[in-house]
Amino acid sequence: MAGLAVAPAAHSQTATRRRSPARQLPLVVLDPGHGGTDPGAIGAEGTQEKRITLPLALELKRRLEHGGRCRVAMTRTRDVFVPLARRVQLARDREAALLLSIHADASPPGHAALRGASVYTMSETATDAVAAAIARRENRADQAGGLRLPSVSPEVQRILLSLMRQETRAGSERLARLTVNALDGQVILLNQPLRRAQFVVLKAPDVPAALVECGFLSNRQDEALLRRADHRAKLAASLAEAVHGFIGARSVA
Ligand SMILES: [Zn+2]
């Protein structure tokens, strides 16, 4: 679905031919968190989140392209700042089958022992205070880059979302479940790894989306693991399995 936009009739045939949807593989958008002026979370040993998310996403891209079952687009392929809204818009403009946002967090104050991976879907209501605090920090990425989201009144935003989001929400929940299942047994998971919070990057009403926090950089053991290419390869393999499960189920439906 492409939101509420309707192409003029005179152009519809051309557009259909150009996209040839029947023969085209589904598009997966990978979103390595942060970048450029926004380093993201800073680890106990000083590791910057943006330097973990990019190589992990590139490894996942390589695996997905090798699988030959989807096309892959990235919201960034270099150390550059990309506003959250532009990341979402890329997935919407290209009618992506899914968006997977990749992050590694630092725990809020008072939760220093937290470690393990977790997977978030969008919700207006956070699972708990930790989930809410994590979403607040991720959403601050835009301020770090000196940009703001376009101002739409919260009421209008809520009405539009409630209309379009229902089907997308079911897809997002399925994607998140598949992701947790694929990670389970491969890497340490946070307690209650399937979580919800209000992430800007998950707000597309028409693209199923999930956000993976691959571990806590604030935890020395997690930080050491996330710095290792073999651990990131293990994460990427699990995420590829989840993506393949999602687009496989989707093409049957
Ligand atoms: Zn992040």
Of the candidates 30, 101, 110, 23, the residue with the CA atom closest to the CA atom of residue 65 = 30
252: pLDDT strictly greater than 50? no
Are the C-beta atoms of residues 95 and 208 closer than 8 Å to each other? no
- Cα-based torsion angle of the residue sequence 244, 178, 221, 78 in order, rounded to the nearest 10 degrees: 40
DSSP state of 244: H
Q: How many A from CA of 21 to the centre of ligand 1?
A: 33
Q: How confident is the model at residue 130 (pLDDT cuts 50, 70, 90)?
A: confident
Retrieve residue 140's tokens: 């601050």
pLDDT of residue 4 exceeding 50? no
Select the more confidently predicted residue: 161 or 239. Answer: 239
Does residue 32 contact residue 57 with C-beta atoms inside 8 Å? yes
The per-residue pLDDT for 164 is: 66
Residue 173 Cα, ligand 1 centroid: separation in angstroms? 20
CATH of 24-252, one of 3.40.630.40, 3.40.190.10, 2.60.40.10, 3.30.1060.10: 3.40.630.40
> How many angstroms is it from 248 CA to the middle of ligand 1?
28
- Check the CA dihedral 225-228-230-236 and report its sign: positive
Give the DSSP per-residue string, 99-162: EEEEEEE-PPTT-TT--SEEEEEE-SS-SSHHHHHHHHHHHTHHHHTT-------HHHHHHHHH
The pLDDT > 90 percentage for the chain reads 60
Q: How far is CA 179 from the centre of its chain?
A: 11
Looking at residues 140-153, what average pLDDT do you find? 57
3-state helix vs strand vs coil in the chain, percent to 5: 45, 20, 35
- β-sheet bridge partners, residue 102: 32, 212
Q: Tally the residues of the chain.
A: 253
Question: What's the 56 CA to ligand 1 centre distance in angstroms?
Answer: 13
Taking the centre of ligand 1 as the mean of its atom positions, its distance from the CA of residue 103, in whole angstroms, is: 4
pLDDT, tens digit (0-9, with 9 covering 90-100), for 27-59:
999 999 999 999 999 998 999 999 999 999 999
Q: What is the pLDDT, as a whole number, of residue 159? A: 66
d(CA 49, CA 32): 10
Distance 57 CA to ligand 1 centre (A): 13
Distance 145 CA to ligand 1 centre (A): 14
pLDDT in tens, 75-128: 999 999 999 999 999 999 999 999 999 999 998 877 878 999 999 998 777 777
Beta 209-216 vs 98-105: how paired, if at all? Answer: parallel
Tens-place pLDDT, residues 218-237 = 999 999 999 999 999 999 99
